[in-house]
Amino acid sequence: MSLVGSVRREWNAFFHAPMPTRTCGVLRIGFGLLVFVGFAVLYPDVDRWFGPDGVLTFAASRAIIDPDTVTIFQLFPQSSLAVHVLYGLLLVQSLCLIVGFYGRAQAACLFVLVTSFQHRNLAMFDAEDHLLRLGCFFLIFMPVDDAFSVRSWLRRERPARRHGPIWPLRILQIEMTLIYLSSGLLKLAGEDWRSGAAIYYAVQVDLFKRFPLPAFLTHDPTLIHLATWSIPLLELTLVPGLWWRRTRALALTAAVAMHLAIEYSLNLFLFEWTMIVGLLSFYEW
C-alpha cells in the first residue's frame, strides 16, 4: 500500500470512526452539571457582577474584550431585568442539557450565553470557565442525546451504541492533551517548579487551603521536592499515555488521582472537576 493510502486510512480511522455515544452522554451530563453549579453560586450577586450598575459597566466590558465582538447583551436593554432573564435562561438550559432534552441545541445556546457572560465581566472567570465554554462548543457536534437522556427515553428508543463520526470527540481529546502539554512545559520553565518549591508555596496560601495536610507532607524538603517535580512529569507523560490504548487506563487513573489530590488540598472551585470530566472523553463507556 502506498504511503498516501496508508496516511489516508489512518486519518479516516482516527477522525471518522463510529462515535461512542455513551461517552458523549456522560460528557453532556458532566459539563451540564459544572456549568449549572459554576453559575448558580454567582446568582445571589448577579447584579453586582453583571448588572448595569455593578462593578463593570457594559461599555467598559466591551472595551476590555473587543468592541467588534458579538454578545447577546447587545440584543437586550441594559437593565437588571434583562440580566436576570438571561441568567435564568442559562441555568434552565444547563438543566435541560443535563437531562438530555435536545442537548445539542441546549449546548449551542449555552455556548452563546456562557461566552456572553464571560465577556461581560472577564475578571470573574478563569481557566476552568474557558474549558467549560469549549466543552459546550464541542457538545454541539456530538450525538449527546443518544444515551442517558430524556429525549431517548421519550422516543422509546434503545440507546444507539455508535453513531456518527468521532472527530468532535477527538477534538476534545486533543484539547485535553494540549492543556497537559502546555501546563507541563510552563511548569518546567518556572524557577519555583525546577527548584522543587512550588508545592510548598501553594499549600501555604490561606486563600486556597481546603483541608489541612500532615506536617511531614508540607515541611519535609524531600517529599515537597518529589511532589513538585512529579506533577509536570505526570502531565507530560499523560500526553502520549492517554492516546496509547495499553497505557490509557493507567494514565486516566493517575490523572484522576492527581486532580483529586489537588482538590483535597486546595480550593480551586471547579477546575479539578472540569479536568476530570474532560478526561472522561478518553473512556468508552
Give yes or no: residues 85 and 203 share one domain: no
pLDDT tens figures, 147-176? 999 988 887 655 545 567 899 999 999 999
Range ranked top by mean pLDDT from 8-17, 158-167, 214-223, 273-282: 273-282
Give yes or no: residues 137 and 207 share one domain: no
Give yes or no: residues 249 and 215 share one domain: yes
Give yes or no: residues 171 and 158 share one domain: no
Listed residues 165, 186, 220: the one ending a domain: 165
Confidence at 243, pLDDT banded by 50, 70, 90: very high
Average pLDDT over residues 57-81: 91
* pTM tops 0.95: no
Give yes or no: residues 245 and 204 share one domain: yes
pLDDT at 167: 96
Confidence at 1, pLDDT banded by 50, 70, 90: low
pLDDT at 156: 67
Give yes or no: residues 67 and 45 share one domain: yes
Give yes or no: residues 124 and 177 share one domain: no
Q: Is residue 9 part of a domain?
A: no
Q: Is residue 42 part of a domain?
A: yes
Q: Is residue 285 part of a domain?
A: yes
Q: Is residue 3 part of a domain?
A: no
Give yes or no: residues 187 and 124 share one domain: no
Looking at the predicted structure, is the pLDDT value of residue 271 above 80?
Answer: yes
Give yes or no: residues 113 and 245 share one domain: no
Amino acid sitting at position 166 = I
Q: Is residue 250 part of a domain?
A: yes
pLDDT at 211: 86
Give yes or no: residues 283 and 160 share one domain: no
Give yes or no: residues 259 and 273 share one domain: yes
pLDDT at 209: 85
Segments in the chain forming alpha helices (H): 3-15, 21-40, 46-50, 58-65, 80-99, 103-120, 127-139, 150-154, 167-189, 191-195, 198-203, 215-219, 221-241, 245-265, 271-279
Listed residues 111, 143, 165: the one ending a domain: 165
Domain count of the fold of the chain: 2
Containing domain of residue 219, as a range? 166-285
**Which of residues 198 and 1 earns the better pLDDT score?**
198
Average pLDDT over residues 29-44: 97
Residue 182: how many CA atoms within 13 Å on its side-chain side?
Answer: 7
pLDDT at 158: 56
Residue 18 DSSP SS3: strand
pLDDT at 162: 55
Listed residues 116, 133, 165: the one ending a domain: 165
Give yes or no: residues 142 and 57 share one domain: yes
